[in-house]
Structure 1
């Protein structure tokens, strides 16, 4: 899996976890952020759709979490990849 894919996957997983913690359906979350396309959240959670920063902030607000909580997996996924890269470079 590419580094970008791993980072997007971690955001998707964080959104799923936060939404479930709130007891909210995908449709409810979509409505709260003003998305008339009921499949938008499903696409974001599956990685088919990449939310822009403004939309990510809307999602975080709707889920009553800090946007940093949704992004925290990025640095972990990135660190794992960088550690693997430096090992493969012989460093």
Structure 2
């Protein structure tokens, strides 16, 4: 990884209330230790409001730290939820 490439972090399965605390720590920790972060959401099969809040928190924290944050592609209902929230994932 070169300094210009964002660190890639994959999220798989559920991004829901059940996994929110774990994912929050994981994402915020990655932001603290990288010069850029790309969250790959292609493996996320389900998202709820808690998962959405984690992504919004990550966006806010990235802005606060001045760390570039990208959301990788998402599928199906997850992509629709992100679009409604203004967090539309980038297409690869």
What TM-score do the two structures reach when normalised by structure 1? Answer: 0.28
Higher Cα Rg: structure 1 or 2?
1
Q: Relative CO higher for 1 or 2, CA cutoff 8 Å, sep ≥ 6?
A: 1
Select the structure that is richer in helix.
Answer: 1
